């Protein structure tokens, strides 16, 4: 039905409000998406990087190489390496200078399969090597990692909620549009317009408005995400780029959700007509 | 062309039927007056005939199709072969006169250039070729009714229905609208006009269906 807006969809109040509401939803969704991806990246970096190491100070008089072999057998430990005196001297030289005359503890570096069990591991190390101390850095990282995981799950939940609310908003806008144009739709129906024609007009209009609103929201989110990425650079090693793919998918995704929601809502309402 | 067999129409349970066991048949190419007091069932009968309602009971045939048994998806195609003029005109206020008249052709999927030419031709026919781009609110009641008539006939419907098309018009405008309906009849359409204006019936003799309290009480040939 090619026509000059027979349903008057271009002039309705809800049609002007909808892009603004969808833009706000898309902004929130983009920030949630950026947060979720950043938390995922941070988590992966910490889990796979140097942070996955735990340092064990073995009791005085214990053979470090033998302690490393025993610790390597513990569940969850990927690798255990005794740190020889020369390497330890290299590590401490910037702060202490020459350490040849200093009494240094024997250390074993553990690399873990995953940081999830780091806190339990401390107890197992103590049981294997009584008197050994486990430095808390790895445990602290494990806690941080758990927090990152929780933040990531929360961000995905927020994103899902935003999609749900946006869908409900489109349903409300569609129903308001239907209510305002009930007479016009009845006339078109009487003239032989099919459900597909009428639903198609609503769906196309709402899809365009929602896609437009989402483009504005995603566009507004990009500089915010770039700023946050720059602020997070010291933690993750480099400034994280905004999730360009996710942001560019947002307008067509919003349009698709609006199109499908409008089709369902309008067709359901039209079924009440003979 | 149109056949009703024991048609009953209820709008709600517990209420008296709007139409009660109505039976009649109208030949193709006929012109028929539908009369009766207010509330007698004229609008309900027209509603059934332009497929805006389905009979509660009975068998209804319109343009050769069994409407009572038709699937919902088959009705739009049938509706496009029926033109209707409402008492309250029901023009779309946000469209200009030309687009209002072109609407049935757009719904039918006609080509844009051709449909605009056809719509202009219809507006010339009803004497409003000079008001193409006016909004309906800028027209008088009689002019609006003529635009509604142009819209109803622009797709050359096989069945043309008019529900009290002259009720809100002065005598001159009423005669003009009825003359246009008669002209459509002469061009081959089957025309049914609901009216309670007895004077008009006398001036344009044609068969009359008379309804009272939802029942067809008299169907006779006017002289």
Which of A190, A194, A195, A273 is best to mutate for the B interface (most B CBs within 10 A)? A190
Residue B223: pLDDT band with limits 50, 70, 90 = very low
Chain B: residue nearest A271 by CA?
B72
Query: Six-digit token pair at B158?
Result: 């096989």
Is the confidence at residue B171, as pLDDT, over 50?
yes
| pLDDT for the residue B9 | 94
Is the confidence at residue A74, as pLDDT, over 90?
no
| pLDDT for the residue A16 | 72
- When pLDDT is averaged across residues A52-57 and rounded to a whole number, the result is 78
A10 phi and psi angles, rounded to 5 deg: -75, -15
**Min Cα–Cα distance to chain A from B168, Å:** 20
**ipTM of the complex model:** 0.85
Q: Looking at A102-106, A158-162, A212-216, B16-20, which range is the least confident one? A: A102-106
**Nearest CA to B48 among B74, B91, B82?**
B82
Nearest to A190 among B52, B95, B106 (CB): B52
CA dihedral A233, A238, A242, A245 (to 10 degrees): -150
| pLDDT for the residue A149 | 83
**Could you confirm whether domain B27-54+71-206 is CATH 3.40.50.300?**
yes
Residues whose CB falls within 8 Å of the CB of residue A185, separated by 6 or more in sequence, listed in order: A7, A178, A198, A270
Please give the share of chain A, as a percent, with pLDDT higher than 90: 13
CA A239 to chain centre: 16
Residue A169: pLDDT band with limits 50, 70, 90 = confident
The domain spans of chain B are: 27-54+71-206
pLDDT digits (tens, 9 = 90+) for B111-161: 888 999 999 999 998 889 999 999 999 999 889 999 999 999 999 999 999
Residue B210: strand, helix, or coil: strand
Chain B contacts in chain A segment 155-184 (CB below 8 A): 183-184
| Per-position DSSP letters for A100-161, written without gaps between them | TTS----EEEEEES-GGGHHHHHHHHHHHSTT-EE-SHHHHHHHHHHHHHHHHHHHHHHHHH
| pLDDT for the residue B222 | 45
| pLDDT for the residue B119 | 94
Q: Do A8 and B92 touch (CB under 8 A)?
A: yes
What's the CA gap between B102 and B117, in Å, rounded? 9
Residue A210, CA distances (Å) to A159, A197, A201, B157 in order: 17, 20, 14, 39
| pLDDT for the residue A4 | 63
| pLDDT for the residue B3 | 94
CB atoms within 10 A of CB B183: 13
Q: Looking at A129-133, B30-34, B161-165, which range is the least confident one? A: A129-133
CA dihedral A241, A246, A251, A252 (to 10 degrees): 140
Arithmetic mean of pLDDT over chain A? 82
Which of A191, A199, A201 is best to mutate for the B interface (most B CBs within 10 A)? A191
pLDDT digits (tens, 9 = 90+) for B50-66: 999 999 999 999 998 99
The domains found in chain A, sorted by start residue, are: 9-46+149-270 (no CATH), 49-143 (3.30.70.330)
**Nearest CA to A225 among A18, A9, A27, A74?**
A27
| pLDDT for the residue A8 | 65
| pLDDT for the residue A2 | 46
Residue B81: pLDDT band with limits 50, 70, 90 = very high
Cα angle A262-A266-A270, degrees, rounded to a multiple of 5: 170
Residue B66: strand, helix, or coil: strand
**Min Cα–Cα distance to chain A from B75, Å:** 8
Query: Six-digit token pair at A104?
Result: 């240094």
Is the confidence at residue A18, as pLDDT, over 90?
no
Residues whose CB falls within 8 Å of the CB of residue B123, separated by 6 or more in sequence, listed in order: B97, B98, B101, B129, B131, B132, B147, B150
């Amino acid at each position: 039905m090619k026509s000059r807006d027979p349903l008057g969809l271009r002039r309705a109040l809800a049609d002007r409000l909808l892009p603004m509401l969808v833009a706000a939803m898309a902004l929130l969704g983009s920030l949630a998406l950026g947060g979720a991806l950043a938390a995922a990246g941070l988590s992966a970096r910490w889990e796979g990087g140097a942070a996955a190491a735990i340092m064990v100070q073995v009791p005085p008089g214990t053979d470090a190489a033998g302690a490393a072999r025993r610790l390597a057998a513990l569940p969850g430990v990927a690798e255990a390496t005794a740190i020889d005196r020369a390497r330890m001297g290299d590590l401490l030289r910037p702060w202490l200078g020459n350490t040849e005359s200093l009494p240094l503890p024997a250390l074993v570096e553990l690399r873990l399969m995953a940081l999830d069990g780091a806190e339990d591991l401390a107890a197992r190390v103590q049981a294997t090597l009584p008197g050994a101390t486990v430095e808390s850095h790895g445990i602290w990282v494990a806690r941080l990692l758990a927090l990152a995981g929780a933040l990531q799950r929360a961000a995905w939940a927020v994103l899902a909620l935003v999609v749900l609310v946006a869908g409900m908003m489109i349903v409300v806008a569609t129903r308001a549009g239907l209510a305002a144009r009930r007479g016009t739709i009845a006339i078109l129906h009487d003239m032989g317009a099919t459900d597909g024609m009428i639903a198609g007009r609503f769906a196309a209009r709402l899809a365009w408005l929602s896609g437009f609103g989402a483009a504005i929201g995603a566009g507004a989110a990009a500089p915010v995400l770039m700023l946050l990425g720059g602020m997070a650079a010291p933690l993750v090693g480099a400034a994280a780029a905004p999730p360009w793919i996710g942001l560019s998918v947002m307008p067509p995704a919003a349009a698709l959700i609006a199109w499908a929601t409008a089709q369902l809502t309008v067709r359901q309402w039209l079924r009440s007509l003979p | 062309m149109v056949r009703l067999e024991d048609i009953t129409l209820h709008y709600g349970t517990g209420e008296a039927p709007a139409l009660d066991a109505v039976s009649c048949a109208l030949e193709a190419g006929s012109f028929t007056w539908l009369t009766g007091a207010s509330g007698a069932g004229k609008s309900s009968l027209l509603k059934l005939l332009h497929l805006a309602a389905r009979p509660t009971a009975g068998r209804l045939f319109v343009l050769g199709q069994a409407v009572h048994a038709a699937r919902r998806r088959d009705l739009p195609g049938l509706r496009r072969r029926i033109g209707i003029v409402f008492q309250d005109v029901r023009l779309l206020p946000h469209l200009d006169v030309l687009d209002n008249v072109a609407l049935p052709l757009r719904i039918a999927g006609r080509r844009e250039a051709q449909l605009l030419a056809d719509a202009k031709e219809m507006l010339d026919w009803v004497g409003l070729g000079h008001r193409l781009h006016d909004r309906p609110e800028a027209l008088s009641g009689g002019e609006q009714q003529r635009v509604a008539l142009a819209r109803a006939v622009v797709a050359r419907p096989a069945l043309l229905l008019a529900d009290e098309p002259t009720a809100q018009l002065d005598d001159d405008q009423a005669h003009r609208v009825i003359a246009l309906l008669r002209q459509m009849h002469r061009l081959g359409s089957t025309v049914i006009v609901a009216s309670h204006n007895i004077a008009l019936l006398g001036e344009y003799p044609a068969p009359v269906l008379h309804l009272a309290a939802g029942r067809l009480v008299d169907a006779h040939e006017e002289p």
